[in-house]
Chain A
Amino acid sequence: MRTVLTIVRYELRNVARNRWVLSYALFFLVATELMLRLGGSGPRALLSLLNVVVLLIPLVTIVFGTIYWHGAREFTELLLAQPVQRSSLFHGLFAGLVLPLSAAYLVGVMVPLLLHRAIGAESVDLLLMMLVAGVALTAVFGALAVLIASRVDDRLRALGIALGTWALMTLAWDGLVLWVTVAFAAYPLERPLLAMMFANPVDLARVLLVLRLDVSALMGYTGAVFNQFLGGVTGTVAAVGGLALWALVPGLFALRTFNRRDF
Protein backbone atom coordinates (compact mmCIF):
# COMPACT_ATOMS: atom_id res chain seq x y z
CA MET A 1 0.00 0.00 0.00
CA ARG A 2 2.82 2.36 0.87
CA THR A 3 4.39 1.61 -2.48
CA VAL A 4 1.12 2.38 -4.24
CA LEU A 5 0.87 5.72 -2.44
CA THR A 6 4.46 6.62 -3.31
CA ILE A 7 3.87 5.89 -6.98
CA VAL A 8 0.57 7.78 -6.97
CA ARG A 9 2.19 10.79 -5.35
CA TYR A 10 4.91 11.11 -7.98
CA GLU A 11 2.60 10.26 -10.86
CA LEU A 12 0.22 12.97 -9.65
CA ARG A 13 3.08 15.42 -9.55
CA ASN A 14 3.93 14.46 -13.12
CA VAL A 15 0.45 14.37 -14.62
CA ALA A 16 -0.77 17.49 -12.80
CA ARG A 17 1.88 19.44 -14.70
CA ASN A 18 0.83 17.92 -18.00
CA ARG A 19 -0.49 20.64 -20.26
CA TRP A 20 -3.27 18.44 -21.63
CA VAL A 21 -4.66 17.93 -18.16
CA LEU A 22 -4.36 21.64 -17.44
CA SER A 23 -6.15 22.50 -20.70
CA TYR A 24 -8.83 19.97 -19.82
CA ALA A 25 -9.48 21.68 -16.48
CA LEU A 26 -9.44 25.06 -18.19
CA PHE A 27 -11.95 23.83 -20.75
CA PHE A 28 -14.47 22.85 -18.07
CA LEU A 29 -13.86 26.16 -16.35
CA VAL A 30 -14.63 28.14 -19.49
CA ALA A 31 -17.53 25.92 -20.56
CA THR A 32 -19.23 26.16 -17.16
CA GLU A 33 -18.63 29.88 -16.99
CA LEU A 34 -20.11 30.38 -20.46
CA MET A 35 -23.15 28.29 -19.72
CA LEU A 36 -23.78 30.17 -16.53
CA ARG A 37 -23.53 33.52 -18.34
CA LEU A 38 -25.59 32.47 -21.34
CA GLY A 39 -27.95 29.91 -19.82
CA GLY A 40 -28.81 31.71 -16.62
CA SER A 41 -29.86 29.72 -13.60
CA GLY A 42 -28.04 26.74 -12.09
CA PRO A 43 -30.16 23.78 -13.23
CA ARG A 44 -30.34 24.97 -16.83
CA ALA A 45 -26.61 25.55 -17.01
CA LEU A 46 -26.06 22.09 -15.60
CA LEU A 47 -28.37 20.62 -18.20
CA SER A 48 -26.30 22.21 -20.95
CA LEU A 49 -23.14 20.89 -19.36
CA LEU A 50 -24.56 17.40 -19.26
CA ASN A 51 -23.99 16.75 -22.94
CA VAL A 52 -20.44 18.03 -22.70
CA VAL A 53 -19.86 15.69 -19.79
CA VAL A 54 -21.15 12.53 -21.44
CA LEU A 55 -19.32 13.17 -24.71
CA LEU A 56 -16.08 14.86 -23.76
CA ILE A 57 -15.06 13.03 -20.59
CA PRO A 58 -15.04 9.62 -22.30
CA LEU A 59 -13.17 10.99 -25.32
CA VAL A 60 -10.43 12.81 -23.42
CA THR A 61 -10.02 10.06 -20.83
CA ILE A 62 -9.74 7.17 -23.27
CA VAL A 63 -7.36 9.00 -25.63
CA PHE A 64 -5.19 10.52 -22.90
CA GLY A 65 -5.22 7.26 -20.95
CA THR A 66 -4.02 5.17 -23.89
CA ILE A 67 -1.22 7.62 -24.66
CA TYR A 68 -0.29 7.90 -20.97
CA TRP A 69 -0.05 4.15 -20.50
CA HIS A 70 2.14 3.67 -23.56
CA GLY A 71 4.26 6.70 -22.72
CA ALA A 72 4.95 5.30 -19.27
CA ARG A 73 6.16 2.00 -20.72
CA GLU A 74 9.90 2.49 -20.25
CA PHE A 75 9.44 4.01 -16.82
CA THR A 76 7.14 1.12 -15.90
CA GLU A 77 9.98 -1.22 -16.78
CA LEU A 78 12.43 0.73 -14.66
CA LEU A 79 10.05 0.63 -11.69
CA LEU A 80 9.38 -3.07 -12.17
CA ALA A 81 13.13 -3.64 -11.93
CA GLN A 82 12.85 -2.30 -8.36
CA PRO A 83 11.49 -4.39 -5.50
CA VAL A 84 7.90 -3.55 -6.43
CA GLN A 85 4.98 -5.92 -6.90
CA ARG A 86 3.38 -5.58 -10.30
CA SER A 87 -0.09 -5.07 -8.88
CA SER A 88 1.14 -2.19 -6.67
CA LEU A 89 2.62 -0.46 -9.68
CA PHE A 90 -0.55 -1.04 -11.67
CA HIS A 91 -2.76 0.53 -9.01
CA GLY A 92 -0.35 3.43 -8.62
CA LEU A 93 -0.24 4.16 -12.34
CA PHE A 94 -4.01 3.79 -12.70
CA ALA A 95 -4.70 6.17 -9.84
CA GLY A 96 -2.12 8.52 -11.33
CA LEU A 97 -4.27 8.60 -14.46
CA VAL A 98 -7.80 8.79 -13.06
CA LEU A 99 -7.24 11.12 -10.11
CA PRO A 100 -5.79 14.12 -12.01
CA LEU A 101 -8.44 13.85 -14.75
CA SER A 102 -11.23 13.65 -12.17
CA ALA A 103 -9.75 16.55 -10.25
CA ALA A 104 -9.49 18.63 -13.43
CA TYR A 105 -13.18 18.00 -14.09
CA LEU A 106 -14.31 18.69 -10.53
CA VAL A 107 -12.28 21.90 -10.21
CA GLY A 108 -13.24 23.10 -13.68
CA VAL A 109 -16.96 22.71 -12.98
CA MET A 110 -17.06 23.69 -9.32
CA VAL A 111 -15.06 26.92 -9.39
CA PRO A 112 -17.43 28.89 -11.66
CA LEU A 113 -20.50 27.43 -9.93
CA LEU A 114 -19.21 28.50 -6.55
CA LEU A 115 -18.14 31.93 -7.79
CA HIS A 116 -21.57 32.59 -9.24
CA ARG A 117 -23.28 31.06 -6.21
CA ALA A 118 -25.33 29.21 -8.80
CA ILE A 119 -26.18 26.17 -6.72
CA GLY A 120 -29.54 26.53 -5.03
CA ALA A 121 -31.17 23.93 -2.82
CA GLU A 122 -33.04 22.53 -5.81
CA SER A 123 -29.97 21.84 -7.88
CA VAL A 124 -27.64 20.35 -5.27
CA ASP A 125 -29.01 16.92 -5.99
CA LEU A 126 -28.48 17.29 -9.71
CA LEU A 127 -25.02 18.75 -9.32
CA LEU A 128 -23.98 15.92 -7.08
CA MET A 129 -25.16 13.39 -9.64
CA MET A 130 -23.30 15.21 -12.36
CA LEU A 131 -20.08 15.14 -10.39
CA VAL A 132 -20.56 11.45 -9.59
CA ALA A 133 -21.35 10.62 -13.21
CA GLY A 134 -18.30 12.55 -14.47
CA VAL A 135 -15.92 10.86 -12.07
CA ALA A 136 -17.49 7.46 -12.80
CA LEU A 137 -17.07 8.00 -16.56
CA THR A 138 -13.44 8.97 -15.96
CA ALA A 139 -12.88 5.73 -14.06
CA VAL A 140 -14.70 3.64 -16.67
CA PHE A 141 -12.90 5.07 -19.66
CA GLY A 142 -9.61 5.16 -17.78
CA ALA A 143 -10.00 1.43 -17.18
CA LEU A 144 -10.92 0.84 -20.83
CA ALA A 145 -7.90 2.88 -21.95
CA VAL A 146 -5.57 0.89 -19.71
CA LEU A 147 -7.06 -2.36 -20.92
CA ILE A 148 -6.59 -1.36 -24.55
CA ALA A 149 -3.08 -0.02 -24.02
CA SER A 150 -1.89 -3.06 -22.08
CA ARG A 151 -3.21 -5.50 -24.66
CA VAL A 152 -2.25 -3.64 -27.84
CA ASP A 153 1.42 -2.70 -28.02
CA ASP A 154 1.23 -0.77 -31.25
CA ARG A 155 0.53 2.81 -30.26
CA LEU A 156 -1.41 3.84 -33.32
CA ARG A 157 -3.53 0.73 -33.36
CA ALA A 158 -4.31 1.16 -29.66
CA LEU A 159 -5.30 4.77 -30.25
CA GLY A 160 -7.51 3.70 -33.13
CA ILE A 161 -9.24 1.08 -31.00
CA ALA A 162 -9.68 3.65 -28.22
CA LEU A 163 -11.29 6.14 -30.58
CA GLY A 164 -13.46 3.40 -32.07
CA THR A 165 -14.65 2.38 -28.60
CA TRP A 166 -15.53 5.97 -27.79
CA ALA A 167 -17.38 6.48 -31.09
CA LEU A 168 -19.32 3.26 -30.61
CA MET A 169 -20.41 4.10 -27.09
CA THR A 170 -21.21 7.77 -27.53
CA LEU A 171 -22.23 8.19 -31.16
CA ALA A 172 -23.20 4.89 -32.68
CA TRP A 173 -25.04 3.41 -29.73
CA ASP A 174 -28.11 5.62 -29.79
CA GLY A 175 -28.40 4.97 -33.51
CA LEU A 176 -28.28 1.25 -32.86
CA VAL A 177 -30.92 1.55 -30.15
CA LEU A 178 -33.12 3.56 -32.46
CA TRP A 179 -32.70 1.03 -35.24
CA VAL A 180 -33.65 -1.80 -32.88
CA THR A 181 -36.79 0.02 -31.75
CA VAL A 182 -37.85 0.69 -35.31
CA ALA A 183 -36.94 -2.72 -36.69
CA PHE A 184 -38.60 -4.63 -33.87
CA ALA A 185 -41.42 -2.20 -33.21
CA ALA A 186 -43.95 -5.01 -33.21
CA TYR A 187 -42.35 -6.70 -30.19
CA PRO A 188 -42.19 -5.78 -26.50
CA LEU A 189 -38.77 -4.14 -26.29
CA GLU A 190 -38.50 -2.92 -22.72
CA ARG A 191 -36.21 -5.64 -21.48
CA PRO A 192 -33.88 -5.72 -24.51
CA LEU A 193 -33.55 -1.94 -24.39
CA LEU A 194 -32.78 -2.03 -20.70
CA ALA A 195 -30.11 -4.62 -21.40
CA MET A 196 -28.67 -2.43 -24.14
CA MET A 197 -28.47 0.47 -21.72
CA PHE A 198 -26.46 -1.53 -19.23
CA ALA A 199 -24.22 -2.56 -22.09
CA ASN A 200 -23.08 1.04 -22.49
CA PRO A 201 -21.53 3.09 -19.67
CA VAL A 202 -22.25 6.39 -21.43
CA ASP A 203 -25.95 5.55 -21.48
CA LEU A 204 -25.79 4.65 -17.81
CA ALA A 205 -24.22 7.98 -16.90
CA ARG A 206 -26.78 9.77 -18.99
CA VAL A 207 -29.59 7.94 -17.22
CA LEU A 208 -28.18 8.92 -13.85
CA LEU A 209 -28.56 12.57 -14.80
CA VAL A 210 -31.76 12.26 -16.78
CA LEU A 211 -33.53 10.62 -13.87
CA ARG A 212 -33.18 13.88 -11.94
CA LEU A 213 -34.22 16.12 -14.79
CA ASP A 214 -37.61 14.98 -15.96
CA VAL A 215 -36.57 15.67 -19.51
CA SER A 216 -35.86 12.05 -20.27
CA ALA A 217 -37.60 12.17 -23.60
CA LEU A 218 -35.02 14.66 -24.82
CA MET A 219 -32.12 12.50 -23.85
CA GLY A 220 -32.54 9.59 -26.19
CA TYR A 221 -34.88 6.67 -26.30
CA THR A 222 -33.11 4.56 -23.72
CA GLY A 223 -33.38 7.31 -21.15
CA ALA A 224 -37.14 7.39 -21.54
CA VAL A 225 -37.45 3.64 -21.17
CA PHE A 226 -35.24 3.59 -18.13
CA ASN A 227 -37.18 6.33 -16.41
CA GLN A 228 -40.45 4.60 -17.05
CA PHE A 229 -39.13 1.31 -15.73
CA LEU A 230 -37.01 2.15 -12.77
CA GLY A 231 -37.31 5.85 -11.93
CA GLY A 232 -36.07 7.17 -8.59
CA VAL A 233 -33.77 5.46 -6.15
CA THR A 234 -33.76 1.97 -7.65
CA GLY A 235 -32.77 3.33 -11.03
CA THR A 236 -30.01 5.46 -9.55
CA VAL A 237 -28.55 2.60 -7.56
CA ALA A 238 -28.73 0.27 -10.56
CA ALA A 239 -27.04 2.82 -12.82
CA VAL A 240 -24.26 3.57 -10.30
CA GLY A 241 -23.74 -0.16 -9.79
CA GLY A 242 -23.58 -0.67 -13.54
CA LEU A 243 -20.98 2.06 -13.88
CA ALA A 244 -18.91 0.57 -11.06
CA LEU A 245 -18.95 -2.77 -12.86
CA TRP A 246 -17.93 -1.05 -16.07
CA ALA A 247 -14.84 0.34 -14.32
CA LEU A 248 -14.03 -2.80 -12.34
CA VAL A 249 -14.30 -5.46 -15.01
CA PRO A 250 -12.04 -3.87 -17.67
CA GLY A 251 -9.72 -2.71 -14.87
CA LEU A 252 -9.35 -6.23 -13.50
CA PHE A 253 -8.76 -7.65 -16.97
CA ALA A 254 -6.08 -5.01 -17.51
CA LEU A 255 -4.49 -5.90 -14.16
CA ARG A 256 -4.46 -9.56 -15.13
CA THR A 257 -2.72 -8.74 -18.39
CA PHE A 258 -0.26 -6.47 -16.58
CA ASN A 259 0.57 -9.18 -14.04
CA ARG A 260 1.19 -11.84 -16.63
CA ARG A 261 2.82 -10.07 -19.52
CA ASP A 262 6.49 -9.77 -20.43
CA PHE A 263 8.10 -6.36 -20.48
Chain B
Amino acid sequence: MISARGVRKRFGRLPVLTGVDLDVAAGSVTAIVGPNASGKTTFNRIILGLVRPDAGEIVFDGARLNGDARYRERIGYMPQIARYPENLTGRDIMAMVREVRRAGTARDEELIESLTLGPVLDTPLRVLSGGTRQRINAALAFLFRADLLILDEPTAGLDPISAGTLKDKIRRERDAGRALIVTSHVLSELDEIADRIAFLLDGMIRYHGTRDELLGATGQPTLERAIAQLMRDGTSPGVDRPGAPGRDADSRRTADGVDTDRGGTP
Protein backbone atom coordinates (compact mmCIF):
# COMPACT_ATOMS: atom_id res chain seq x y z
CA MET B 1 0.00 0.00 0.00
CA ILE B 2 2.85 2.34 0.90
CA SER B 3 6.29 2.02 -0.51
CA ALA B 4 9.06 4.40 0.54
CA ARG B 5 12.38 4.53 -1.27
CA GLY B 6 15.44 6.45 -0.23
CA VAL B 7 13.52 9.02 1.81
CA ARG B 8 15.84 11.67 3.19
CA LYS B 9 15.08 14.68 5.32
CA ARG B 10 17.18 17.10 7.27
CA PHE B 11 15.93 19.92 9.45
CA GLY B 12 18.47 22.68 9.11
CA ARG B 13 21.79 20.94 9.67
CA LEU B 14 20.26 18.04 11.57
CA PRO B 15 19.77 14.93 9.44
CA VAL B 16 16.59 13.17 10.57
CA LEU B 17 16.06 10.57 7.86
CA THR B 18 19.06 9.44 5.84
CA GLY B 19 17.51 7.04 3.36
CA VAL B 20 14.44 5.18 4.53
CA ASP B 21 13.14 2.22 2.52
CA LEU B 22 9.95 0.70 3.83
CA ASP B 23 6.98 -1.21 2.47
CA VAL B 24 3.68 -1.35 4.25
CA ALA B 25 1.22 -3.94 3.03
CA ALA B 26 -2.55 -4.01 3.34
CA GLY B 27 -3.89 -6.30 6.04
CA SER B 28 -0.95 -5.82 8.36
CA VAL B 29 0.13 -3.69 11.27
CA THR B 30 3.61 -2.25 10.84
CA ALA B 31 5.14 -0.93 14.02
CA ILE B 32 7.84 1.69 13.59
CA VAL B 33 10.04 1.64 16.65
CA GLY B 34 13.21 3.44 17.54
CA PRO B 35 14.69 5.69 20.19
CA ASN B 36 13.42 9.21 20.76
CA ALA B 37 14.12 11.57 17.89
CA SER B 38 14.92 8.71 15.52
CA GLY B 39 12.56 10.12 12.92
CA LYS B 40 9.42 8.00 13.45
CA THR B 41 7.03 10.92 13.53
CA THR B 42 8.86 12.67 10.70
CA PHE B 43 8.42 9.60 8.52
CA ASN B 44 4.70 9.52 9.29
CA ARG B 45 4.45 13.19 8.44
CA ILE B 46 6.18 12.67 5.14
CA ILE B 47 3.58 10.07 4.20
CA LEU B 48 0.89 12.58 5.15
CA GLY B 49 2.48 15.37 3.14
CA LEU B 50 3.01 17.50 6.24
CA VAL B 51 6.75 17.34 5.73
CA ARG B 52 8.38 17.44 2.30
CA PRO B 53 11.28 15.02 1.91
CA ASP B 54 14.57 16.33 0.53
CA ALA B 55 15.01 13.23 -1.58
CA GLY B 56 13.40 9.90 -2.25
CA GLU B 57 9.84 8.99 -3.09
CA ILE B 58 6.71 7.62 -1.52
CA VAL B 59 4.41 5.52 -3.64
CA PHE B 60 0.88 5.18 -2.35
CA ASP B 61 -1.08 2.39 -3.97
CA GLY B 62 0.89 2.62 -7.18
CA ALA B 63 0.90 6.41 -7.47
CA ARG B 64 3.87 8.54 -6.56
CA LEU B 65 3.00 11.34 -4.15
CA ASN B 66 3.33 14.65 -5.95
CA GLY B 67 1.61 17.26 -3.80
CA ASP B 68 -1.95 16.45 -4.86
CA ALA B 69 -4.02 16.19 -1.67
CA ARG B 70 -6.58 13.65 -2.82
CA TYR B 71 -4.70 10.51 -1.77
CA ARG B 72 -5.32 11.56 1.84
CA GLU B 73 -9.00 10.70 1.37
CA ARG B 74 -7.78 7.18 1.97
CA ILE B 75 -5.70 7.89 5.07
CA GLY B 76 -6.83 8.21 8.66
CA TYR B 77 -4.40 9.92 11.02
CA MET B 78 -4.23 9.95 14.76
CA PRO B 79 -1.60 12.49 15.83
CA GLN B 80 0.34 12.23 19.05
CA ILE B 81 -1.05 15.43 20.52
CA ALA B 82 -4.72 16.24 20.18
CA ARG B 83 -5.38 19.94 20.42
CA TYR B 84 -8.55 21.27 18.91
CA PRO B 85 -10.23 24.67 18.66
CA GLU B 86 -11.27 25.00 22.26
CA ASN B 87 -14.76 26.34 21.79
CA LEU B 88 -15.88 23.57 19.47
CA THR B 89 -17.26 20.22 20.57
CA GLY B 90 -16.20 16.74 19.54
CA ARG B 91 -19.29 16.55 17.37
CA ASP B 92 -18.31 19.83 15.65
CA ILE B 93 -14.82 18.54 14.92
CA MET B 94 -16.12 15.29 13.49
CA ALA B 95 -18.65 17.14 11.34
CA MET B 96 -15.99 19.58 10.18
CA VAL B 97 -13.50 16.89 9.21
CA ARG B 98 -16.29 14.95 7.52
CA GLU B 99 -17.24 17.98 5.43
CA VAL B 100 -13.63 18.78 4.61
CA ARG B 101 -13.12 15.20 3.46
CA ARG B 102 -16.45 15.21 1.66
CA ALA B 103 -16.87 11.78 3.11
CA GLY B 104 -20.02 9.89 2.28
CA THR B 105 -22.31 8.28 4.78
CA ALA B 106 -20.15 5.18 5.18
CA ARG B 107 -18.84 6.00 8.63
CA ASP B 108 -17.45 3.79 11.31
CA GLU B 109 -18.81 5.09 14.59
CA GLU B 110 -17.91 1.98 16.53
CA LEU B 111 -15.21 3.68 18.60
CA ILE B 112 -17.53 6.52 19.58
CA GLU B 113 -19.62 3.92 21.29
CA SER B 114 -16.95 1.57 22.61
CA LEU B 115 -14.83 4.43 23.96
CA THR B 116 -18.03 5.81 25.58
CA LEU B 117 -17.70 9.17 23.88
CA GLY B 118 -21.43 9.75 23.59
CA PRO B 119 -21.79 11.80 26.77
CA VAL B 120 -18.87 14.14 26.02
CA LEU B 121 -19.41 14.78 22.32
CA ASP B 122 -21.40 17.93 22.99
CA THR B 123 -19.03 19.39 25.58
CA PRO B 124 -16.64 22.15 24.48
CA LEU B 125 -13.22 20.58 23.98
CA ARG B 126 -11.43 23.00 26.29
CA VAL B 127 -13.05 21.48 29.38
CA LEU B 128 -12.25 17.88 28.42
CA SER B 129 -9.27 16.05 29.89
CA GLY B 130 -6.28 15.08 27.76
CA GLY B 131 -7.30 11.44 27.83
CA THR B 132 -10.81 12.21 26.65
CA ARG B 133 -9.50 14.33 23.80
CA GLN B 134 -7.18 11.50 22.88
CA ARG B 135 -10.20 9.17 22.72
CA ILE B 136 -11.97 11.60 20.40
CA ASN B 137 -8.77 11.72 18.39
CA ALA B 138 -8.82 7.93 18.06
CA ALA B 139 -12.48 7.81 17.07
CA LEU B 140 -11.85 10.50 14.46
CA ALA B 141 -8.98 8.58 12.86
CA PHE B 142 -11.13 5.49 12.35
CA LEU B 143 -14.32 7.37 11.44
CA PHE B 144 -13.96 7.40 7.67
CA ARG B 145 -13.02 3.78 6.98
CA ALA B 146 -9.67 4.82 5.54
CA ASP B 147 -7.53 2.19 3.81
CA LEU B 148 -4.39 3.29 5.60
CA LEU B 149 -4.32 4.30 9.25
CA ILE B 150 -1.37 6.14 10.72
CA LEU B 151 -1.41 6.08 14.50
CA ASP B 152 1.28 8.04 16.33
CA GLU B 153 1.60 6.80 19.91
CA PRO B 154 -2.09 5.83 19.91
CA THR B 155 -2.33 4.54 23.45
CA ALA B 156 -0.31 7.28 25.13
CA GLY B 157 -2.51 8.99 27.70
CA LEU B 158 -5.32 6.45 27.45
CA ASP B 159 -6.57 4.51 30.45
CA PRO B 160 -6.09 0.70 30.29
CA ILE B 161 -9.69 0.02 29.27
CA SER B 162 -9.61 2.51 26.40
CA ALA B 163 -6.18 1.33 25.34
CA GLY B 164 -7.49 -2.23 25.22
CA THR B 165 -10.53 -1.17 23.21
CA LEU B 166 -8.30 0.64 20.75
CA LYS B 167 -5.97 -2.32 20.35
CA ASP B 168 -8.93 -4.61 19.67
CA LYS B 169 -10.06 -2.15 17.06
CA ILE B 170 -6.62 -2.07 15.46
CA ARG B 171 -6.63 -5.86 15.17
CA ARG B 172 -10.11 -5.90 13.67
CA GLU B 173 -9.21 -3.27 11.09
CA ARG B 174 -6.14 -5.23 10.12
CA ASP B 175 -8.25 -8.35 9.70
CA ALA B 176 -10.58 -6.31 7.53
CA GLY B 177 -7.64 -5.76 5.18
CA ARG B 178 -6.53 -2.26 6.10
CA ALA B 179 -2.92 -1.21 6.42
CA LEU B 180 -1.85 0.30 9.73
CA ILE B 181 1.31 2.10 10.75
CA VAL B 182 1.74 2.40 14.51
CA THR B 183 4.51 4.06 16.45
CA SER B 184 4.82 3.60 20.16
CA HIS B 185 7.32 3.62 22.95
CA VAL B 186 5.35 1.06 24.89
CA LEU B 187 6.77 -2.04 23.27
CA SER B 188 4.72 -4.47 25.29
CA GLU B 189 1.65 -2.99 23.61
CA LEU B 190 3.14 -3.38 20.17
CA ASP B 191 3.78 -7.00 21.09
CA GLU B 192 0.03 -7.50 21.06
CA ILE B 193 -0.73 -5.82 17.77
CA ALA B 194 2.34 -5.58 15.53
CA ASP B 195 2.76 -7.99 12.62
CA ARG B 196 5.86 -6.38 11.25
CA ILE B 197 8.54 -4.40 13.01
CA ALA B 198 10.56 -1.63 11.40
CA PHE B 199 13.42 -0.46 13.58
CA LEU B 200 14.48 3.08 12.82
CA LEU B 201 17.85 4.32 14.01
CA ASP B 202 20.01 7.23 12.91
CA GLY B 203 17.53 7.98 10.17
CA MET B 204 17.56 4.55 8.54
CA ILE B 205 15.50 1.40 8.84
CA ARG B 206 18.01 -0.91 10.48
CA TYR B 207 15.70 -3.87 10.73
CA HIS B 208 12.48 -4.78 9.03
CA GLY B 209 10.75 -8.07 9.38
CA THR B 210 7.95 -9.90 11.10
CA ARG B 211 7.79 -10.00 14.84
CA ASP B 212 8.78 -13.67 14.97
CA GLU B 213 11.72 -13.10 12.67
CA LEU B 214 12.95 -10.35 14.95
CA LEU B 215 12.68 -12.54 18.02
CA GLY B 216 14.50 -15.30 16.20
CA ALA B 217 17.24 -13.02 14.88
CA THR B 218 18.00 -11.51 18.26
CA GLY B 219 17.38 -14.63 20.32
CA GLN B 220 15.26 -12.71 22.79
CA PRO B 221 11.95 -13.87 24.27
CA THR B 222 9.97 -10.60 24.00
CA LEU B 223 9.71 -7.69 21.61
CA GLU B 224 10.88 -5.33 24.31
CA ARG B 225 14.08 -7.28 24.87
CA ALA B 226 14.63 -7.78 21.15
CA ILE B 227 14.36 -4.05 20.49
CA ALA B 228 16.61 -3.36 23.45
CA GLN B 229 19.11 -5.73 21.90
CA LEU B 230 18.87 -3.87 18.57
CA MET B 231 19.31 -0.55 20.32
CA ARG B 232 22.35 -1.81 22.20
CA ASP B 233 23.87 -3.08 18.98
CA GLY B 234 23.05 0.11 17.19
CA THR B 235 23.95 2.63 19.84
CA SER B 236 27.17 1.08 21.06
CA PRO B 237 30.04 3.57 21.48
CA GLY B 238 31.05 5.21 18.24
CA VAL B 239 27.70 5.21 16.53
CA ASP B 240 26.64 8.55 17.92
CA ARG B 241 29.75 10.11 16.42
CA PRO B 242 29.45 10.09 12.65
CA GLY B 243 32.60 8.95 11.00
CA ALA B 244 34.04 7.41 14.14
CA PRO B 245 35.60 3.98 13.82
CA GLY B 246 33.25 1.22 14.90
CA ARG B 247 30.17 2.82 13.38
CA ASP B 248 30.61 1.09 10.08
CA ALA B 249 31.21 -2.27 11.64
CA ASP B 250 28.11 -1.86 13.75
CA SER B 251 25.80 -0.81 10.99
CA ARG B 252 27.09 -3.54 8.77
CA ARG B 253 26.21 -6.09 11.39
CA THR B 254 22.68 -4.73 11.62
CA ALA B 255 22.43 -4.41 7.88
CA ASP B 256 23.38 -8.06 7.48
CA GLY B 257 20.50 -8.99 9.71
CA VAL B 258 18.16 -6.89 7.61
CA ASP B 259 19.34 -8.50 4.39
CA THR B 260 18.74 -12.04 5.49
CA ASP B 261 15.35 -11.20 6.94
CA ARG B 262 14.32 -9.15 3.93
CA GLY B 263 14.16 -12.37 1.95
CA GLY B 264 10.62 -12.94 3.07
CA THR B 265 9.51 -9.33 2.74
CA PRO B 266 7.06 -8.78 -0.07
Please list the residues of chain A having a beta carbon within 8 angstroms of any beta carbon in chain B. 2-3, 6-7, 10-11, 13-15, 17-18, 72-75, 77-85, 260, 262-263
Given A6-B96, A10-B96, A75-B83: A84 touches B88 (CB 8 Å cut-off): no
Asked whether any CB of chain A lies closer than 8 Å to the CB of B75, the reply is: yes
The docked-state distance in angstroms from the alpha carbon of A14 to that of B83 is 13
A248 CB, min distance to chain B CBs, angstroms: 24
- Bound complex: CA A73 to CA B81 (Å): 11
Residue picked from A14, A74, A83, most chain B C-beta under 10 Å = A83
> How many angstroms from the CA of A11 to the CA of B85 in the assembled complex?
8
Provide the residues of chain A in CB contact with B81, threshold 8 Å: 74
Taking a contact as CB atoms closer than 8 A, the residue among B48, B52, B100 that contacts A6 in the complex is B100
What chain A residues lie within 8 Å of B82 (beta carbons)?
74, 78
Give the contacts of B66-91 with A (CB-CB under 8 A): 69-73, 75, 77, 79, 81-88
B99 within 8 A of A: yes
Per a CB cutoff under 8 Å, which of A2, A13, A82 touches B88? A13
- Contact between A85 and B85 (Cβ–Cβ < 8 Å)? no
- Point out the residues of chain B lying under 8 angstroms from A75, CB to CB: 83-85
Specify which of A14, A72, A85, A263 is in contact with B50 (CB 8 Å cutoff).
A263
Report A-chain residues with C-beta under 8 Å of the C-beta of B69: 83-85
Q: Contacting A263 at CB < 8 Å: which of B45, B73, B150?
A: B45
Chain A hits for B79, CB < 8 A? 74, 77-78, 81
Task: Closest B residue to A86 by CB, please name it.
Answer: B69
Given contacts A75-B83, A81-B49, 10 further A-B contacts (CB under 8 A): A10-B88, A14-B87, A72-B85, A75-B85, A77-B79, A78-B84, A80-B49, A83-B101, A84-B72, A85-B69
The closest CB in chain A to the CB of B47 belongs to A81
Q: When chains A and B are docked, how far (Å) is the Cα of A248 from the Cα of B11?
A: 30
Q: Are A80 and B50 in contact (CB under 8 A)?
A: yes
Q: Give the CA-CA distance A24 to B49 in the complex, in Å.
A: 37
Name 17 A/B residue pairs within 8 A (Cβ), A-sorted. Answer: A6-B99, A7-B100, A10-B85, A10-B95, A73-B83, A74-B79, A74-B81, A78-B77, A81-B49, A81-B75, A81-B79, A83-B102, A84-B72, A85-B69, A262-B11, A262-B51, A263-B50
Tell me whether B87 and A13 are in contact (CB under 8 A). yes
Complex partner residue of A14 from B11, B88, B97, B150, CB under 8 angstroms: B88
B92 within 8 A of partner (CB): yes
Q: Which residues of B sit under 8 angstroms from A3, Cβ to Cβ?
A: 100
Contact B73 A14 (CB under 8 A): no
**Contacting residues, chain B, for A2 (C-beta < 8 A):** 102
Which residues does chain A contribute within 8 Å of B102, judged by CB atoms? 2, 83
Task: Given A10-B92, A77-B79, A83-B72, verify A262-B85 contact (CB < 8 Å).
Answer: no
Q: Report yes or no: A14 in contact with B85, Cβ–Cβ below 8 A.
A: yes
Q: State in angstroms the CA–CA spacing of A72 and B86 once bound together.
A: 10
Distance in Å from the Cβ of B1 to the closest Cβ of chain A?
Answer: 16
> When each residue 17-60 of chain B gets 1 if its CB lies under 8 Å from chain A and 0 otherwise, what string results?
00000000000000000000000000001001111100000000
Which residue on A lies nearest to B84, using beta carbons? A75
> Which residues does chain B contribute within 8 Å of A72, judged by CB atoms?
85
